[in-house]
Amino acid sequence: MLTYLLRRVGIGLLMLVALTVLVFILLRLAPGDPVTAYINPSVPMSPEAIEALRVRLGLDQPLPLQYFAWLSAAVTGDFGYSIQRGGAAVLPLVFDRIGPTLLLMAAGLTIAIIVGVATGIISAVRRNSATDVGLSVVASLGISSPAFLTALLGLYFFAVQLRIAPSGGMLTPGAPFSIGDLLAHLILPASLLAIGHAALIMRYMRSSLLEVLNQDYVRTARAKGVKEFWVIVKHATRNALLPVITLIGSTIGVAIGGAIFLESVFNWPGMGLLLVNAVNARDYPVIMCATLVIGACVILVNLLTDITYAAVDPRIQVS
């Protein structure tokens, strides 16, 4: 296990380096001059002053040298300073936004797992019934609905028309902090984030459980007189969960993408909103640091998923 973990960590570090190289190149290939992000448009600057700024920022160097200069500083924890936020240090700024994003993702994925697994079991147990058909249709709609469309429609109907949920933010401005206020702001974006993932988990759970229910050991348990409830819960569901666990781990990256849209629509003060604002403002230090942190979270979750898979199924040997 230790050898496996060390090897996965090494591969993860190489993947992070490759990710930063890709993002760095894409930022430099984007239209416009990076120097313009540092210039106040209301203050005229001479070409000589602009060139001096370019030299001071190291933007006159070849791209490989620029990247290695950034990387050498990043490994020491120095990710530079935000252009958009008055020279604030980037790393504390990004870390301040991790908590709200993790809260939103954890709530959304928790709802998705509970709803997806439960409806998948119901759909498999009542195969070809009206309930199964209805749940399958709903799941197909959930899978095919883009995150931004779901977010906008949910905001319009539940916050604007029905007024049963706040229209944005994480807390009510000016109000004292309370768990109830936080949950009131969290429930709508978390539920919208869960829709697509719950639908996908439901489909996987249904398919996996149907396959398990046809196995010999399940028929043997029924022949011994075990009640159907315990056959489903104790004998079938645990084995059916194995591919679902892998799916849940792989959807973390997709959940991050959906969270970016949701945070923008609901003005949720997380990593997604920070990243979108940084892209709009060409705030390169924040973009690089936020991308690195998000990539590290995805790699860590995938590693934990593999370990969980091995723990659930003793037949799996990590190597």
Alpha-helix runs per DSSP H in the chain: 2-29, 47-56, 63-74, 90-125, 130-144, 147-154, 179-213, 216-223, 228-230, 237-266, 271-280, 284-312
pTM of the model: 0.81
Provide the residue range defining the domain that includes 263: 90-312
- Where does a domain end: 34, 50, 74? 74
Burial profile 13-51: b = 16 or more Cβ within 10 angstroms, e = fewer: eeebeebbeebbeeeeeeeeebbeebeeeeeeeeeeeee
Q: Provide the pLDDT for residue 302.
A: 77
Clarify whether residues 126 and 57 are in a common domain.
Answer: no
Residue 83 lies in a domain: no
- Where does a domain end: 14, 40, 74? 74
- Where does a domain end: 10, 44, 74? 74
Both tokens of 65, joined, read: 């040298």
Clarify whether residues 56 and 135 are in a common domain.
Answer: no
Clarify whether residues 151 and 196 are in a common domain.
Answer: yes
Contacts (Cβ under 8 Å, ≥6 apart) of 257: 147
Clarify whether residues 57 and 129 are in a common domain.
Answer: no
What is the Rg, in whole angstroms, of the alpha carbon atoms belonging to the chain? 24
Both tokens of 300, joined, read: 């860590």
Clarify whether residues 106 and 60 are in a common domain.
Answer: no
Residue 57 lies in a domain: yes
Number of domains in the chain: 2
Clarify whether residues 282 and 212 are in a common domain.
Answer: yes
Q: What is the mean pLDDT of each run of 10 residues along the chain (319 residues)?
A: 78 89 86 73 78 80 87 88 80 89 89 92 89 90 82 89 87 87 91 90 90 84 83 82 78 73 86 85 86 85 73 59
Nearest-angstrom CA–CA distance, 37 and 226: 69
Residue 319 lies in a domain: no
Nearest-angstrom CA–CA distance, 50 and 44: 10
